[in-house]
Amino acid sequence: MAISVDWPTKVITVPKADTQLVSAGPPEIRQLDVDQFRLSLKALEADVDGMTFLHTHNHNQPVTIGGVTLARVVEIINGYTVTFEDGAYAVNLVGANQNIGDVLNFNQVQVRSSNSAGLTFSDAIISQSFTDNKVYINTMTGLPGTQFPRGTPTDPVSNFADAKTIADARKFTSYELHHMITLGSGDAVNATTWSGHAVNHAKITFSAGVNTADMSIHNMRVLGAFDGDDITLTDCWVGASTGFCGTMIRCAFEGNVTMNGACTDALVLDSCRSQIAGSAKPVVDINSANVDVNIRNYVGGIEVRNFNNAGKNMSIDFVSGSLTIHSSCTDGTILVRSADSVDDQSGAGCTVVVLGNDEIAEQTAEGTLSVQQAIRAILAATAGKADGFTGSAGEIHFRDQADGKNRITATVDQFGNRTSITLDLAD
């Protein structure tokens, strides 16, 4: 069912289905784009059935004078009236000044006009309406079109093609997404910034061939075929993906991720985690890329594959979790710290060094002091009991936390300056 005109009675009927759902309510609120409405009327007038009848409306395009834009005007004329399909819902009229309220056939539908008395917006108002210089996309409740205020937070656009037109016209490179979108080879998204309304309410799927170089994506689900360098994902849930090259920060893995084998920049996973329940692990496939890999502050399970270039290093630091090193890892050095468990299936050419908390404590901090010894000395000097200084030369002592021994014995002059130090940092 579509917008129709009963030509003999001059009644224009607008089906509920031809309005856009804004809120399911209650109360249910819908929206009619008056510009699209008049285009439908224009098409009906040009049809065989309508071409012999009087025109339904006048239309004045927006006019910009001295940086101020006068609104689009759609006027229903020649005795035509408008009926909305009956029901308990409201309809907001947007996109133009109009006189629909004056020619309305009343029923249960509440029709809300938003006429602006001619003045719609200046360049300053337009710029302020696009919060943070972003075009807003809602693929569920947004509407097509590029005429302002389309693309603003209160009137999001429904598709990327129109969003890109709006962004290009305003020299924006940022988008905010509500719901989900699929981007493909025809979509110019490289060097753009995307943010999601919420990580579980916004999702981008990349189809093969899309150029994702220099993209920055925040707070949404992401998956598909990346293609390009210097991609940054922050606070995202990452599904099954290929061709990734860049950095992920505070991301959660819902599926396996394969790198771009031609990538030349180090892969960085900072404070990421597994989002897969149980013993299954997400796979990070280096895909033989000739790069270093830095995985820091990781939580949960992870499996690494195809790390196999001589002279390259992979560091994996766990907060907690388990690691599987696949047999396809055949070269380079993999350093693992603080993993709960490591299943090392690597090939003979791959050097794997596993350090637990004890091993880390035994690493050299300075000179011949281990990390553990250095911490004992610091605790004694800053938080242990002290005695011995009387204002004359002699010894002062700094005690361990149990007050069981002198960790530091210092020879001092009459001013308290330390002239020699003896340490006892054993257990």
For residue 75, name the pLDDT band (cuts at 50, 70, 90): very high
End-to-end CA gap in the chain: 84
**pLDDT reported for residue 290:** 96
Q: Where are the alpha helices (DSSP H) in 257-391?
A: 357-362, 371-383
Beta strands 246-249 and 394-399, pairing class: unpaired
For residues 300-333, b (16+ Cβ closer than 10 Å) or e, as one string?
Answer: bbbbbbbbbbeebbbebbbeebbbbbbebbbbbb
Instruction: Please give the share of the chain, as a percent, with pLDDT higher than 90.
Output: 68
| Single-letter residue type at 292 | D
**pLDDT reported for residue 359:** 59
Same domain, 107 and 156: no
Q: Evaluate if residue 344 carries a pLDDT over 70.
A: yes
- Cα-Cα-Cα-Cα dihedral of 133, 138, 144, 150, to 10°? -30
Same domain, 11 and 86: yes
Reported as a single tens digit per residue, the pLDDT across 354-364 is: 987 565 666 67
- Of 5-14, 157-166, 280-289, 380-389, the one with minimum mean pLDDT is 380-389
Same domain, 284 and 416: no
- What domain count does the chain have? 3
Reported as a single tens digit per residue, the pLDDT across 223-269 is: 999 999 999 999 999 999 999 999 999 999 999 999 999 999 999 99
For residue 1, name the pLDDT band (cuts at 50, 70, 90): low
**Three-class DSSP category at 371:** helix
Q: What is the C-alpha separation between 155 and 36, in angstroms, rounded?
A: 14
In 3D, which of 296, 292, 331, 330 has the Cα closest to residue 316?
Answer: 296
Reported as a single tens digit per residue, the pLDDT across 81-116 is: 999 999 999 998 888 889 999 999 999 999 988 766
Q: What is the C-alpha separation between 302 and 395, in angstroms, rounded?
A: 54
Same domain, 145 and 219: yes
Same domain, 163 and 117: no
Q: Which of 95, 121, 147 is the last residue of a domain?
A: 121
Reported as a single tens digit per residue, the pLDDT across 277-320 is: 999 999 999 999 999 999 999 999 999 999 999 999 999 999 99
**pLDDT reported for residue 31:** 87
Same domain, 310 and 278: yes
For residue 68, name the pLDDT band (cuts at 50, 70, 90): low
Same domain, 111 and 82: yes
Same domain, 88 and 197: no
Q: What is the C-alpha separation between 263 and 291, in angstroms, rounded?
A: 7
**Cβ 332 vs Cβ 351: under 8 Å:** yes
Find where tokens 């329940």 sit: 277
Q: Which of 55, 87, 121 is the last residue of a domain?
A: 121
**Cβ 179 vs Cβ 159: under 8 Å:** no
For residue 183, name the pLDDT band (cuts at 50, 70, 90): very high
Q: Where are the alpha helices (DSSP H) in 31-171?
A: 34-46, 123-129, 160-170
**Cβ 56 vs Cβ 166: under 8 Å:** no
Q: Which of 92, 121, 150 is the last residue of a domain?
A: 121
**Cβ 257 vs Cβ 227: under 8 Å:** no
* Contacts of residue 324, Cβ cutoff 8 Å, sequence gap at least 6: 281, 301, 302, 303, 304, 342, 343, 345
Same domain, 255 and 163: yes
**pLDDT reported for residue 142:** 87
Beta strands 68-70 and 119-122, pairing class: antiparallel
Same domain, 323 and 371: no
Q: Evaluate if residue 28 carries a pLDDT over 80.
A: yes
Strand partners, 369: 366
Same domain, 281 and 377: no
Beta strands 90-94 and 110-112, pairing class: parallel
**pLDDT reported for residue 155:** 86
**Cβ 252 vs Cβ 273: under 8 Å:** yes
Find where tokens 């299954």 sit: 280
For residue 391, name the pLDDT band (cuts at 50, 70, 90): confident
> Looking at per-residue confidence, does 31 or 298 come out higher?
298
Owning domain of residue 230? 127-361
Same domain, 200 and 341: yes
**Cβ 269 vs Cβ 302: under 8 Å:** no
Q: DSSP E strands: which ranges in 113-229?
A: 119-122, 134-138, 174-183, 193-196, 202-206, 216-218, 221-225
Q: Evaluate if residue 118 carries a pLDDT over 60.
A: no
Q: What is the C-alpha separation between 354 and 322, in angstroms, rounded?
A: 12
